[in-house]
Chain A
Amino acid sequence: MSDALLDIRDLHLEFDTFDGVAKVLAGVNLTIERGDVVGLVGETGCGKSMTALAIPRLIRMPPGRINRGQILFKGEDLLQRQDSAMQEFRARHLGMIFQDPATNLNPLFTIREQLVDAVLYQQANTRSVPGRWRGFLPSARQIRRDAQRRAIELMGLVGIPDGEMRIHDYPHQFSGGMRQRVLIAMALAGEPDLLIADEPTTALDVTIQAQILRLIRSLVRQLGLTVLLITHNLGVVANTCDKVAVMYSGRVIEQAPVRDLFHSPAHPYTQGLIRAVPSGSTSRGGLQGIPGLIPNLIDPPEGCRFHPRCSQVLDHCASQVPGPGSIGSGHLAFCHLYPEGA
């Protein structure tokens, strides 16, 4: 475990709201090994995206507040870094792409402007980047020209044909899939160790989804990337990921290699989730849900947050938060059915 690229330990995140304190993350544990593609799945509101945004510290505080836990990146706790040092971390070690490629590119700037900036500011020494006012200096021009060459290379890498021409276009002249490729290129410009992809295909057509996922897989092979892929789509996880973590109401409740999770889900919630996926043989009206509703984050259930809906609930589920129970190699469940250390 010590050689993990990213190790999130007992992360607690709260938000002050008008109705009270929302306990959005309540002890997230997540380990990502170098070279893995880890899927993070869960329902809407379970804290997947908040976990993703907490890693590069992109959550505005206040109203947000991280009051417990560690985010260890290569052994260093990111929560201890100065704010000013986080920009450098994001530039050098992290790439991130989001859900809707239509809104994640700045509409008023050409792809060239945005991609060249991504290349320049992710280089080792940000201070040497020529700003707009120094743009007339020959040396600065040369730097931007070199960056543009690299930008066109990146466009080729992510499968955008005619990069030389298309780099001068504006985002609205690109299709959704192509925009997501541009965003991937921007994220990869600094050769990051970790790519966080927050629902990267949710806003895209199904055929384009498959292309983008294939692209991410091939980039993992080519560049030795590590990926945290956030999705609510179990099919995407099955096709793309090596490992998977399931979240429920602000906690990771199970983490396992993909095959194990789908073949032998341990946590009752995971079992319900997998049963709920409609298959070809599901009859009309035969969708199987999990009874009950997701908990209120301001006043969540004590102990295991799933216990009010759980079919296998035990006496102490309502009072004690379950720790990690090992089920097999790399397979952990946070459930009292699988006692800690057993």
Chain B
Amino acid sequence: MTLRLYLARRVLMLAPLLLGLSLLTFTISRLVPGDPVGLAAGPQASVEIREALRVQFGLDQPLPIQYLNYIRGVLQGDWGRSLYTRRDVIEALGVFFPATLELTLAAVILATALGVPAGVISAMYRNRIPDHIARVISLFFVSFPAFWLAMIMQTVLGRHAGLVPIGRRFPVIMTPPPQVTGLYLVDSLLALDFAAFSIALNHILVPALVLSFGALASITRITRASMIEILERDFVRSARAIGIPERVVIGKYVLRNAFIATLTVISLNFGWLMAGAILIETIFDWPGIGLYAVHASLSLDFQPIMGITIVYGVLFSLVNILTDVAYGILDPRIRYG
């Protein structure tokens, strides 16, 4: 099977998956006790006003009809609106989602860039000083609660040292780079605005670093374990025996083999970090989907909850598909099918 065919099939298979996901979320959100309309209308609202709201949002219809109406809307690009703010869900997602994606991507990249070399060094100097240092550091960071580390770094680096902003994506008084992807780092580069790039980088650095810590430890450890396993393989001895220099043996031949396991952990972490971002966003006042999700869940705001779930579902599935494709690129024996 060719790669294109494989991708087409995987993307098609997303449809039933997302349908199931939306049905599940829909059912759960309606099963939870509570009256969002009552909450939205306020305690003084009359019965008529509540009824009017109910009709306006289609909540007077039977549940199956509500669900079908929702799905029809989603397919037509109308993802509903918030009961409270009346803001279009799709518009809100367009604003908040890129912020979370940027934060999560930055954290994954940081965790990989720090974790893989640390794991390689650990494996090369197994049970010697550099290994111990790398292991203690990764244990150290994974052992602290992320919110605590976040506040410490915010206080020390932001408030006292004044090295980085305390929160937000971009200074409120400045205009962010023209939106193309919604990721400020990418957009500022696309606009060749290096000043904006460095400002955005300065803002994202600490939140992304804190977010990456949890993933950093697992990436370091799986890279170490996997490298150690591969280092014992016959082909490593063979390559050394005919005089291939150690840096080539490790950096080229062993690392590619070991990276397959690391890739699995990276992609799993991506999902966890998306979820973990909610906490970090709250602390750093990061205008991402996390805060939006928290507010929506607390007030049982149906439409945003559905929209957020679907976006997370799509993203998580896409990461999975990309990972599977990457396996095939790393290991030629893996066939798409």
Contacts and interface: CB of A to CB of B under 8 A. Distances in A.
Interface of A: 56, 58, 87-92, 94-98, 100, 103-109, 114, 117-118, 121-122, 126, 131-132, 170, 172, 183, 186-187, 189-190, 196
Contacts of B248: 117, 121, 131
A90 B252 contact: no
Contacts of A189: 242
A38 to B, nearest CB: 18
Contact of A98 (B237, B243, B246, B257): B237
Contact of B234 (A95, A98, A131, A190): A98
B245 A132 contact: no
B244 interface: yes
Interface in B219-244: 233-235, 237-244
A108 B241 contact: no
Contacts of B330: 108
Interface residue SS majority, chain B: helix
Contacts of B239: 106, 114
B241 A58 contact: yes
A122 B243 CA distance: 6
A189 B332 CA distance: 25
Interface of B: 233-235, 237-246, 248, 252-253, 256-257, 330-333
Nearest to A92: B243
Nearest to B238: A104
B242 A107 contact: no
Contacts of B256: 108-109
Nearest to A126: B245
Contact of A187 (B234, B242, B332): B242
A285 to B, nearest CB: 37
Most buried by A among B234, B242, B252: B242
Given A103-B235, A106-B239, A108-B256, A170 B333 contact: yes
Nearest to A95: B242
Contact of A121 (B237, B241, B244): B244
B257 A90 contact: no
B333 A91 contact: no
A193 B266 CA distance: 46
Contacts of A104: 234-235, 237-238
A38 B252 CA distance: 35
Contact of B257 (A96, A108, A132): A108
26 contacts: A87-B243, A89-B243, A90-B240, A90-B242, A91-B243, A96-B241, A100-B234, A103-B233, A104-B238, A106-B235, A106-B253, A107-B331, A107-B333, A109-B253, A109-B256, A117-B252, A121-B243, A121-B245, A170-B332, A170-B333, A172-B332, A172-B333, A183-B238, A186-B242, A187-B241, A189-B242
A196 B240 CA distance: 13
A100 B233 CA distance: 11
Given A90-B243, A100-B234, A189-B242, 12 more contacts: A87-B240, A87-B243, A87-B245, A105-B238, A106-B235, A106-B239, A107-B333, A109-B256, A122-B242, A170-B333, A183-B238, A190-B242
